[in-house]
Amino acid sequence: MRYWRRVIRYGGNPEHKRHPGDFALAAPLGPRPGKTLGDGVRIFSRAEALRLLREGVKRGLISAHMRRGYPKNLWAVSDQGTALEATLDNEITGTYHGDPMPALDSFAQQILQRWSNQA
């Protein structure tokens, strides 16, 4: 897990951002309604998103499904207490994008519990 903490990257996805912050994302060509926004959980910088990814890895919140040596998904919890899910975008560079999980999702509740147990 230490290896992933050092090499993972956060790229972001313009469909999950209303305010691009320092993510250097272009507006989506065809925005899809209903996409969850990272803005709602106050993640406005790439450094903050990467910090959360690395903390999720540190706490062992990684999927068993691998793609070229990277976990397909990683999970974390925002400073406001929202469960977040990151998905591998690029299996060559180890780049992820993430978004908030629905509050009533039973798996989100499991992530919150595991996060607090490992604090």
Please give the residue that has the higher pLDDT: either 101 or 118: 101
Residue 105 backbone class (left: φ over 0; alpha: ψ -120 to 50; beta: rest): beta
Please give the residue that has the higher pLDDT: either 37 or 67: 67
Residue 71 sits at φ, ψ, to 5 deg, of -65, 140
How far, in Å, CA of 18 to CA of 29, rounded?
Answer: 14
What is the reported pLDDT for 43? 73
Q: For residues 22 and 86, is the Cβ–Cβ distance under 8 A?
A: no
Confidence of residue 56 (pLDDT cuts 50, 70, 90): very high
Three-state DSSP at 83 gives strand
The predicted-structure confidence for 59-114, as pLDDT tens digits, reads as follows 999 999 999 889 999 999 998 999 999 999 889 889 898 888 988 999 999 999 99
pTM: 0.75
Confidence of residue 46 (pLDDT cuts 50, 70, 90): confident
Q: For residues 75 and 61, is the Cβ–Cβ distance under 8 A?
A: yes
Cα distance from N-terminal residue to C-terminal residue, the chain: 17
Instruction: Pull the structure tokens for residue 1.
Output: 């897990």
